[in-house]
Amino acid sequence: MSEEMTRILESKRKVRAKLAELPFSKKIELLEKLRRRTIDIKKASALEQATE
Amino acid sequence: MEERIFDSYAIGGAVAATFYMEPFATLDIDVFVHFAEPPESGLLSLSQIYEFSRTKGWKTEGEYIVIGEWPVQFLPPSSPLEEEAIDYARSHEVDGIPVRLMTAEHLMAMALKLGRAKDYARLIQFVESGAAESKELASILERHGLLEKWEEFSNRFLDERGDDPNS
């Protein structure tokens, strides 16, 4: 693995570790946002397929 | 007197995993339930939950009951591992409300047993997070005949890291 890739992965790991330390109630809020975003992406890709 | 449909419950899946790690994108909440009276069939007992949800004004969407904005799936345990995961779940307070969540070790064992790509991805994240207690995990894996499967998983995905549930 290149040094650059190792650095990127390490920085991602740090962000994830920070998120993991949040209180669970805060994480639930993030889960809700992630869920809405996932639904929006699914809707958008379904629309894209339908119009192709 | 309020009628009890189930004796105990535990939240599993991505929502429970989020307690131990960073939040995961998920569309639903998995709630594993032990029914108060042994049901004649899983379907029969689940119908009690759907009936109860109607009295609360909760909508149903397929097999899901929509509580707030979340589709919730109630699942009777389908294996001794899931039974045990409900029994060993720990209560945590979320905004002052006690919520029973499966332990990190049981979530890992269940992910290993399911063995889909997303389960392995979550397992790797669990290992990286250090959320699980190795001895407890090893003991669950042994009790439920999953040590060999862990070995395969470990050789395939964790070899360079040298992770061992017994270490």
As for the ipTM of the complex, it is 0.80
Cβ <8 Å between A37 and B25: yes
What's the gap in Å between the CA of B124 and the closest CA on chain A? 12
Local confidence band at B28 (pLDDT 50, 70, 90 cut-offs) = very high
For residue B25, give the nearest of A25, A28, A38 by CB distance.
A38
For residue B21, give the nearest of A20, A35, A39 by CB distance.
A20
Note the pLDDT tens digit of each residue in A5-18.
999 989 998 999 99
Number of helical (H) and strand (E) elements in chain A, helices listed first: 2, 0
Q: At CA A30, angle to CA A24 and CA A36, rounded to 5?
A: 140
The answer to whether the CB of B88 falls within 8 A of the CB of B137 is: no
What's the gap in Å between the CA of A25 and the closest CA on chain B? 6
Judge whether A9 is closer than 8 Å to chain B, CB to CB: no
The answer to whether the CB of B29 falls within 8 A of the CB of B13 is: yes
Q: What is the pTM of this model?
A: 0.87
| Pick among B11, B19, B22 to test the A interface (most A CBs inside 10 A) | B22
Note the pLDDT tens digit of each residue in A1-52.
789 999 998 999 899 999 999 999 999 999 999 999 999 999 999 988 888 7
Cβ <8 Å between A25 and B94: yes
> What single-letter DSSP state applies at residue B162?
T
Cβ <8 Å between A19 and B23: yes
User: b/e string for B61-75 if b means 16 or more Cβ within 10 A?
Assistant: eeebbeeeebbbbbb
pLDDT of residue B44: 59
